Amino acid sequence: MEKNVQIGLLCDIYGELLTKKQQNILDLYYNDNLSLAEIAEELGITRQAVKDSIAKGEKRLFRIRRKTR
């Protein structure tokens, strides 16, 4: 399954278990197809902070999925 689709499905199922910031950033990145720079500008944070939040959010979603299997 394509990563974008997989992350989208995991967000739909487990998204409430993420922080609001992670939910928002993952939504902007995967659903609205915004770049890291566009998200950073919109939220007033650095590009690196966006990248870190995406990585942490993805990691958490995959960890939750493994635990619920």
Q: Read off the pLDDT of residues 10-25 as tens digits, 9 standing for 90 and up.
A: 999 999 999 999 999 9
The H or E element spanning position 12 is: helix 3-14
Distance CA 11, CA 5 (A): 10
Which residue is associated with the tokens 């493994």?
66
Q: Residue 1: its pLDDT value, please? A: 65
Tell me how many domains the chain contains. Answer: 1
Q: What is the DSSP string of 44-65?
A: TS-HHHHHHHHHHHHHHHHHHH
Q: What is the mean pLDDT of the chain?
A: 94
Cα–Cα distances in angstroms (integers) from residue 18 to residues 1, 41, in the given order:
22, 22
CATH assignment at residue 60 = 1.10.10.10
